[in-house]
Amino acid sequence: MTERYVVAIDQGTTSTRCIVFDRRGRLVSVAQQEHKQYFPRPGWVEHDAAEIWRNVERLAPEALRQAGIDAGQVAAIGIANQRETTVLWDRRTGHPIGHAIVWQDTRTDDLVRELRRRPGAAVVEHDSALPMATYFSGPRISWMLDHRPGLRQRAERGEILFGTMETWLIWNLTGGLHVTDVTNASRTMLLDVHTLDWSPAALTFFGIPRAMLPQVRASIGGFDTARHAFPGVRIGAALGDQQAALFGQTCFAPGEAKCTYGTGSFLLLNTGDELVRSTHGLLSTVAYQIEGGPAAYALEGSIAITGSLVQWFRDQLELIASAPEIETLARTVTDNGGCYIVPAFSGLFAPHWRSEARGVIVGLTSYITKGHLARAVLEATAWQTREVVDAMNADSGLDLSTLRVDGGMTADNLLMQYVADVLDVPVVRPLAAETVSLGAAYAAGLAVDYWPDLEGLRQNWHRAAQWLPTMDPAARDREYRNWQRAVQRTFDWTRPS
Amino acid sequence: MPGTVQSIERAAAVLRLLAAGPGRLALGEIAHSLDLAKGTTHGILRTLQHVGFVDQDRASGHYGLGPAMRRLGTSQLDVNELRSFAINWADPLAARTGEAVRVGTVLAGQVLVVHHVFRPDDTFQTLEVGAHLPLHASALGKVLLAYRAAGAVPAAHLDRFTRRTILAPRTLAAELQRVRGAGWAADVEEMTPGNAAIAAPIRAHGGLVVGAVGIDGLVERVCDSRYRPHQQLVAFVRDAARSISRELGGLREAA
């Protein structure tokens, strides 16, 4: 019998990767290609969707060649993608209409401010379970239709199609299937998260023709067979990248949570088949849906600045030469010396959502060294995690008992220990670091019975490291109060002009 | 005495020139001062920049001494940086071998454990980053001694941990000779009864050994019935060491 494999396509913000996994969830080969970032104006971020598809076409044979296998040995493909990035293309030619607008892009700022005041905004926010923000795709489609003459009419005639990145890739892989996965759809503000179909009220509100939208499908199960890049291989699953990481960490039960520590950080808590509405500044989102089954939901807390604070410390302050040296510098002292850094560089995300806040360093005295500053940098990531976890516990009524972590910052032992200390729960790193692509592979393999069930996937999860809380409770409370006081000092810094 | 290497003499002159003054120098100034062609000077500067002895200002393009030059003789590589390079290869090594993985470097006459991956069987284990191991009685330590990582030399008195611990300096010297010849080291019940370990060197620029990576576990799993490490496990450890070295720029593709 020939050994079979599962391939993940991880379409991220800076690069695209094709990764081959074996039956035990072990990485066999990786092919990676970065794509160009376009910054045409301040606050604008764009990608060329055609370039991204060309990369997939090139990476697919490369990943198979490195693994020494052919497409016939691939049981299924799974897609994990950057979320909320918005692509429009011509149905007939398949060519993108301009560049894709990336999730970080804030060009819809003015539009969103106006939309908030429009009647019907509350209904849209209720149906989508999302707050009106530049982060999501709906306002972007609206902006694109408004800013290109004749585009809305063509969209109404069904000549123009919309997709998030997985929709674009599936369209190209299959040669014309126009579908979206429900987790990606749940980030558009256009999906009714209860019916799991497009909300007519939202479409009217944003002025988006139904004809341009893809059909909403379950994340795991039904995406047809690829004709290009991986000809003849079944597309088993598609998920937004953070939902894929939750799946890759095998957080299948309510109360299980993971945090991915990168440039920013994303904490997702599985809330089961119950949609939990946050009253503490978190997002409600679809975690995954297996075809024929109910959707699993999640609460999500996004932290804007974590790893990027370390990069700022390295590139702007030039106090360290490489990011890992932050730990070396932080270990030159035993505490923060009373110093706190709140990195509200472009406002604060969850759970505060204060766009007018700006960063502060407080508690400076002549005693403070760069070692104390390095500690304060790492502690900022831990306390921001604590704020999100507190909000999740309050919203869900579930008390987090363990935090599963992944991402580049998990190499920092001092940070991981501090996260365990301030959360007062064990922090666990799994053996498989590539949780986003692994989650896509797991989901795809599950769709084609390559893996039998969720329990079978759990067997593949192994603990690589664990940090247990050791902090004195009184010290934890004192430090948390200090952190909260520091956060308050960031509020109301920028004034409306 | 064999002839001298001209490009190394020139590189030394470039470093002396940069060290002599307080400010940075432009490519043209360096070439002119040393009476070298600009192309030759640029090649030397690029090489010195690659190994970290020289750096180039992003704005002006002028050259100065790099951070590695100031650290020369202390430590070659920040231990946390070593971990961040090793982490992506240590995980697959644990997955393939089913054993715990450790990465070590030299600190104050001992092995300092800078990274630890649990044995992937989900039993309770404690993270041992920051722990110390004896140089002469551990596989990691033998690798570090064999290649004189950070100037490591055996202690004058070799402590006994088990009845298999190497105690005679001459026996240890012969063992280190064998490690250099084979490219890997083992410890079979020399530190802990019932345990065995395998380790291989991590190399940085120019082949300099800056650390070691290895696995350890029960002797009946790591070794065959004649107490020799399984060749398959040795191959996995050496592959991981080579992959980490490649990331650190310590491996030419031919190697």
A274 and A224 part of one domain: no
Is B67 within 8 Å of chain A by CB?
Answer: yes
Is A421 within 8 Å of chain B by CB?
Answer: no
Asked whether the predicted pLDDT for residue A376 surpasses 80, the reply is yes
Structure token digits, residue A118: 């429009």
Using the beta-carbon criterion (under 8 Å), do A462 and B127 form an inter-chain contact?
Answer: no
Is B71 within 8 Å of chain A by CB?
Answer: no
A40 and A128 part of one domain: yes
Q: Which amino acid is at B60?
A: S
A270 lies in some domain: yes
Q: State percent of chain A over pLDDT 90.
A: 69
A280 and A374 part of one domain: yes
B228-233: average pLDDT: 95
A260 and A228 part of one domain: no
Is A123 within 8 Å of chain B by CB?
Answer: no
pLDDT at A345: 85
CA–CA distance, A106 with A112 (Å, rounded to integer):
10
B83 vs chain A: nearest CA distance in angstroms? 7
CA–CA distance, A228 with A99 (Å, rounded to integer):
22
The response to whether A140 counts as a known ligand-binding position is: no
A43 vs chain B: nearest CA distance in angstroms? 24
A106 lies in some domain: yes
B32-46: average pLDDT: 89
Closest CA to A97 of A29, A30, A144, A158: A144
CA–CA distance, B143 with B124 (Å, rounded to integer):
29
Single out the residue in A174, A199, A233 at which a domain terminates: A233
Using the beta-carbon criterion (under 8 Å), do B121 and A462 form an inter-chain contact?
Answer: yes
Q: Which amino acid is at B249?
A: G
Using the beta-carbon criterion (under 8 Å), do B88 and A433 form an inter-chain contact?
Answer: yes
pLDDT in tens, B58-116: 888 899 888 777 666 555 678 888 998 898 889 989 999 999 999 999 988 899 999 99
Q: Which domains does chain B have, with CATH numbers?
A: 6-70 (1.10.10.10), 79-247 (3.30.450.40)
Residue of A322, A463, A467 to mutate, interface with B, max B Cβ within 10 Å: A463
For A320, name the nearest residue in chain B, comparing CA atoms only: B67
pLDDT at B75: 55
Is A431 within 8 Å of chain B by CB?
Answer: yes
Cβ–Cβ under 8 Å, residues A229 and A377: no
CA–CA distance, A163 with A186 (Å, rounded to integer):
13
Using the beta-carbon criterion (under 8 Å), do A411 and B83 form an inter-chain contact?
Answer: yes
A316-321: average pLDDT: 89
Single out the residue in A199, A233, A267 at which a domain terminates: A233
Q: Is A156 helix (H, G, I), strand (E, B) or coil?
A: helix
Cβ neighbours of residue A380 under 8 Å, at least 6 residues apart?
A305, A306, A309, A340, A341, A342, A343
Angle at B127 between CA A412 and CA A269, to 5 degrees: 65
The response to whether A243 counts as a known ligand-binding position is: no
pLDDT in tens, B4-23: 888 888 888 888 888 877 77
A289 and A366 part of one domain: yes
Residue A143: its H or E element: helix A137-147
B224-244: average pLDDT: 94
Give the count of domains, chain A. 2
Average pLDDT, chain B: 89
Single out the residue in A233, A261, A277 at which a domain terminates: A233
- The confidence band for A46, taking pLDDT boundaries of 50, 70 and 90, is very high
The minimal CB distance from A462 to the residues B78, B96, B120 is found for: B120
A139 lies in some domain: yes
A57 and A178 part of one domain: yes
pLDDT at A197: 94
pLDDT at B200: 97
The response to whether A93 counts as a known ligand-binding position is: no
pLDDT at B59: 84
A450-457: average pLDDT: 89
Residue-wise burial string across B16-31, b where 16 or more C-beta atoms lie within 10 A, e elsewhere: eebeeeeebbeeeebb
Q: What is the pTM of this model?
A: 0.83
A184 and A103 part of one domain: yes
Asked whether the predicted pLDDT for residue B1 surpasses 60, the reply is no
- What dihedral angle (degrees, nearest 10) is formed by the CA atoms of B24, B30, B33, B36? 170
Average pLDDT, chain A: 92
What CATH number should be reported for the domain holding residue A123? 3.30.420.40
A244 lies in some domain: no
Cβ–Cβ under 8 Å, residues A25 and A441: yes
A193 and A265 part of one domain: no
pLDDT at B71: 64
- The confidence band for B255, taking pLDDT boundaries of 50, 70 and 90, is very low
pLDDT at B254: 39
A105 lies in some domain: yes
A224 and A285 part of one domain: no
Asked whether the predicted pLDDT for residue A237 surpasses 90, the reply is yes
Structure token digits, residue B240: 């991981």
pLDDT at B156: 86
Q: Which amino acid is at A150?
A: G
A201 and A286 part of one domain: no
Q: Is A51 helix (H, G, I), strand (E, B) or coil?
A: helix
A165 and A273 part of one domain: no
A198-216: average pLDDT: 95
Quote ipTM for the complex.
0.78
A443 lies in some domain: no
Is B23 within 8 Å of chain A by CB?
Answer: no
The minimal CB distance from A413 to the residues B96, B125, B129 is found for: B129
Of the listed ranges A379-383, A395-399, B130-134, the least confidently predicted one is A395-399
A435 lies in some domain: no
The response to whether A215 counts as a known ligand-binding position is: no
Using the beta-carbon criterion (under 8 Å), do A322 and B78 form an inter-chain contact?
Answer: yes
Give the domain extent around A331. 249-430+462-497
The minimal CB distance from A324 to the residues B84, B91, B121 is found for: B84
A213 and A316 part of one domain: no
B152 vs chain A: nearest CA distance in angstroms? 22
The minimal CB distance from A328 to the residues B80, B88, B118 is found for: B80
Cβ–Cβ under 8 Å, residues A203 and A141: no
A438 lies in some domain: no
A184-212: average pLDDT: 94
- The confidence band for A93, taking pLDDT boundaries of 50, 70 and 90, is very high
The minimal CB distance from B80 to the residues A26, A324, A467 is found for: A324
